[in-house]
Structure 1
C-alpha cells in the first residue's frame, strides 16, 4: 500500500504514506505544526532511495486527516501513533520528529510496545518544555503562544505567510536565500489543516512537559538543532533535552533555522543516515 487511512478509536481518520519494501527497516516521520507529512518530502525520497521503508502520517486535524475538534493534544497524538504502528506492524523502527513532531516522538517512544522502536531523532524539537514557568525560566512567555493562537484563529492566511517568509526558515535574516516555493508549500500545508485543531495544538506543543518522557527513553536518540532557530530557541530545548536522555547525541548547526530539514536537507539527511546506520 502506498497510502491509506487508519480509523482511530474515536473515529478520526489518519492519512498515512507507506512507501518501499515491507521487509525493509521502517523510518517513521512526524511533522511539525501546522504542516503535514508532505513536509518530509526531501527525507522520504532520500531514504526510500537508500532502501528503507518510509512512513509518514498527517497528524489528526492536519493535512488530509480528519479535521478533529477534540483529541488535539499530545496523549491522543501518541495514541494515534501507537495505533498506526500496530496497523502497519512496525518493528525496529526509527522515529524522526520535527518541532511538534519531536514532542510526539518523545511521547510515543516513551510509551511504545517493546520491539517497536530501534532509535529516535528529535529535529528542532519542542522538548522538554517550551513554555516559560517557574521551573523552566528559559522558556518562552505565554504571550508568544497567545500570538500564535490569535494569528491562527482569526487571520491564518496572512499569519502563515508571515511565519513561512520570516522566522521559520530564517528568510528574515540578512543574506538569506529566500525560496518562494518553500514559503508557498508551507502555506499550502498549513491551510489544509483544520483551524480548531491547529489552535488546540499550540497548547499541545508549548505546554506539554516532556521531561519524564525523555528520562525513560532508553533507545539511542539523536538531537539535531539549528543554532539560529527563531521558533524553538536552542538553549531552552535541545541543550536541556540532551541532559535528560540516557543515550542521547547532540549535533547543533551554526546559522541553521527551524525549518532546516527543508532548507539544509543535504546536511541533515547525511547526519540522519550516519546515525541510522551507525
Structure 2
C-alpha cells in the first residue's frame, strides 16, 4: 500500500504559513497570559477555577498544591518522594476521592511546580511549609501519608503539628529513623552512596533520572519484573520539572536527618508500610526501627515489593490504606 503524499495548495505560500502560525500562537497565548496573571495571587484557588492553586510561605516561596473533593470530608494529605511531585499520588488521590475523602497533595519546595528554591531545602523548612499549607486550608483531623522522603516530612511535621490538625499518619518506604551509616546507625548506607547520587545528578541529571526508575526504584532490574515504560517516563517527567539545586540539597535532607526524637514524640496512630525488596530505603534499617520508636505504630511488611510499590501495586496498597484510615 502506497502512502499518499500530502500536498499544500499553491496558494499556501511561505508567508501564508507564517501568518497562520503566528495567529495560532497568539490564540494559544491568551490562556497562558490569563494563568500568569492569576498565579501571582497569594492563594489563587480563591480567585477562580481556571488558576493553579498556590500558597506563599513566610520566605516568599510559592508551594503548588491540589485540593480535590468535598471540603467537609476528612482530608488526606499526600507527601511525595524525591525528586518527584504531587503527581506521583494520582492513583491514590483518585481512589480516595471516589471513597468520599478530600484529597490534597503538594509539590515540595524546589520540586514540581513549586518555586525552584536554592535555600530552605531541608526538613525543618519542609515541615514548616506543610504547616503553612494546613493552616491556609484550615485542615482538621487530617491523615498524612508520606512516601520515602515524604515519609520523613510527615514524621517531622506530625511530631510538631498543632493540636487537632492530625488524626493519623502513614509512612511508606520511608527514610526514618535515619539512612546514613554512623556509629549510632551501623546498619545504614555509607555516605559514599549518597555522594554518588550527588555526583550523578550534577554530571547528567536527565540520564540519572532515567536510570533510577528503570532500575531499583520500581524493582524493574529484578529478573522477571514487569517493566512499565509509562512509570519510567512519568518519574523522569516529574523529576525534571524540579530544580537541580533543590534536588541536590534534598539528598542530604533525606539521608542525614535523624528522625528518632520525632518518632518518639508522636502518640497518634501511625501505619508503617514497607516492601522487603526495597532497594532505595533498605527495609531492615528503616521500617522495623521506626515502628519500635513509635508509641502507637503498626508495621506491615510487603514481601517482594519494591520502593515504588504505591505505583507498581496500588491494588495492594490502597485497600490497606483505606482499612487503616477507617479503622
* 2:146 corresponding residue in structure 1: 97
Mapped to 1, the partners of 2:96 and 2:201 lie a distance apart of 33
Deviation at 1:236, TM superposition (A): 0.4
* 1:78 corresponding residue in structure 2: 127
* 2:198 corresponding residue in structure 1: 149
1:138 aligns with 2:187: yes
State the TM-score, normalizing by the size of structure 2.
Answer: 0.84
Mapped to 2, the partners of 1:154 and 1:118 lie a distance apart of 43
> Does structure 2 conserve the Cα–Cα contact (< 8 Å) formed by 1:153 and 1:196?
no
* 1:257 corresponding residue in structure 2: 306
* 1:186 corresponding residue in structure 2: 235
Mapped to 1, the partners of 2:203 and 2:119 lie a distance apart of 19
* 2:98 corresponding residue in structure 1: 49
> Does structure 2 conserve the Cα–Cα contact (< 8 Å) formed by 1:36 and 1:63?
yes
Mapped to 1, the partners of 2:238 and 2:321 lie a distance apart of 24
> Does structure 2 conserve the Cα–Cα contact (< 8 Å) formed by 1:125 and 1:232?
yes
- Residue 53 of structure 2 aligns to a residue whose secondary structure is strand
Mapped to 2, the partners of 1:251 and 1:153 lie a distance apart of 36
**Aligned ranges 1:139-178 → 2 under 5 Å:** 139-178=188-227
Q: Which has the larger radius of gyration?
A: 2
* 2:112 corresponding residue in structure 1: 63
- Residue 219 of structure 2 aligns to a residue whose secondary structure is coil
> Does structure 2 conserve the Cα–Cα contact (< 8 Å) formed by 1:63 and 1:192?
yes
1:5 aligns with 2:54: yes
Mapped to 1, the partners of 2:146 and 2:54 lie a distance apart of 20
Mapped to 1, the partners of 2:181 and 2:291 lie a distance apart of 19
1:15 aligns with 2:64: yes
Deviation at 1:153, TM superposition (A): 1.9
Deviation at 1:154, TM superposition (A): 2.1
Deviation at 1:159, TM superposition (A): 0.7
**Aligned ranges 1:225-240 → 2 under 5 Å:** 225-240=274-289
1:209 aligns with 2:263: no
Mapped to 2, the partners of 1:154 and 1:176 lie a distance apart of 29
Deviation at 1:254, TM superposition (A): 0.7
Deviation at 1:89, TM superposition (A): 0.2
Q: Deviation per CA, 1:200-256: give whole Å up to 9, x if none.
A: 000000000000000000100000000000000000000110110000000011110
State the TM-score, normalizing by the size of structure 1.
Answer: 0.99
- Residue 181 of structure 1 aligns to a residue whose secondary structure is helix
- Residue 166 of structure 1 aligns to a residue whose secondary structure is helix
Mapped to 2, the partners of 1:68 and 1:126 lie a distance apart of 22
Q: List 4+ stretches of structure 1 deviating above 2 A.
A: none
Two-structure CA RMSD over aligned residues (Å): 0.7
Mapped to 2, the partners of 1:154 and 1:114 lie a distance apart of 45
Deviation at 1:45, TM superposition (A): 0.2
- Residue 171 of structure 2 aligns to a residue whose secondary structure is strand
- Residue 216 of structure 2 aligns to a residue whose secondary structure is coil
Counterpart of 2:84 (choices 35, 40, 43) is 35
Higher relative contact order by CA 8 Å / sep ≥ 6: 1 or 2? 1
How many residues align? The count is 278
Mapped to 2, the partners of 1:35 and 1:194 lie a distance apart of 11
